[in-house]
Chains A and B, each alone.
Chain A
Amino acid sequence: KAGVTQTPRYLIKTRGQQVTLSCSPISGHRSVSWYQQTPGQGLQFLFEYFSETQRNKGNFPGRFSGRQFSNSRSEMNVSTLELGDSALYLCASSSSRLEGQYFGPGTRLTVT
């Protein structure tokens, strides 16, 4: 079974721009969660989607948004990028909401 894939793997953007990251979950998994990982704050939960519906959201500003498609693939969008948004963005999928999550390799976003 193929693992969780994320594209692109690396991205460099300028302050004020917006970015869209993509995640393809493991086949059959309907739950997709997104996390931000930084050296200072560690791993922080962004949001979870299950069957195309956002089920919960972490403590992030409205500039961070996401969606899930009918095939369970998910995208997250960050608008009006700030330097502090530089991080590794991880996507995780599971068949049972937040339990038994499999992570992708992440997208390394650098904001200059």
Chain B
Amino acid sequence: GENVEQHPSTLSVQEGDSAVIKCTYSDSASNYFPWYKQELGKGPQLIIDIRSNVGEKKDQRIAVTLNKTAKHFSLHITETQPEDSAVYFCAGNSGGGADGLTFGKGTHLIIQP
């Protein structure tokens, strides 16, 4: 089955700096990769996603890049703000969706004022 590894587990950056979170996946059949943000006491919120036929996608301060050959994808957050502090999860659709979504273990992003 799919294995999604996420690094780092904790990331502390100064407000205004950029943050990068990286994930690797093992299943070549995976073709959809979402990123979720989870704040304390809430369910995960989809912030951006990318399909395997696209190399990069951007939405304001957030971007995701995908390298299908190397089987890794990354989340980039620029000009970080205090409200960006949360746990971020990457995921891949195992078996192209046949086996559900497999999530990484999460990255706790801390924005230092």
Q: Is the CB of B97 within 8 A of A101?
A: no
**A52 CA / B106 CA spacing, docked (Å):** 31
Chain B nearest CB, measured from A100 CB (Å): 7
Per DSSP, chain A at the interface is: strand
Chain B nearest CB, measured from A41 CB (Å): 9
Interface 0/1 of B30-53, CB less than 8 Å to A: 001010100001111110010000
**A48 CA / B94 CA spacing, docked (Å):** 13
**A103 CA / B102 CA spacing, docked (Å):** 15
Q: Is the CB of B103 within 8 A of A101?
A: no
Report if A11 contacts B (CB, 8 A).
Answer: no
Q: Is the CB of B100 within 8 A of A99?
A: no
Q: Is the CB of B103 within 8 A of A43?
A: yes
Chain A nearest CB, measured from B37 CB (Å): 11
Nearest CB in chain A to that of B95: its residue: A56
Chain B residues near A98: list those with CB within 8 A. Answer: 32, 93, 97, 100-101
Q: List B residues at the A interface (Cβ < 8 Å).
A: 1, 32, 34, 36, 41-46, 49, 89, 91, 93-94, 97-106
What are the 10 A-B residue pairs with the smallest beta carbon separation, nearest first?
Answer: A103-B43, A45-B100, A43-B103, A103-B44, A42-B105, A105-B43, A98-B97, A56-B100, A104-B43, A106-B43
Q: A90-B44, A99-B93 are in contact. List 10 more A-B contacts (CB 8 A).
A: A42-B103, A43-B44, A45-B100, A48-B100, A58-B99, A58-B100, A59-B1, A99-B49, A100-B34, A106-B43
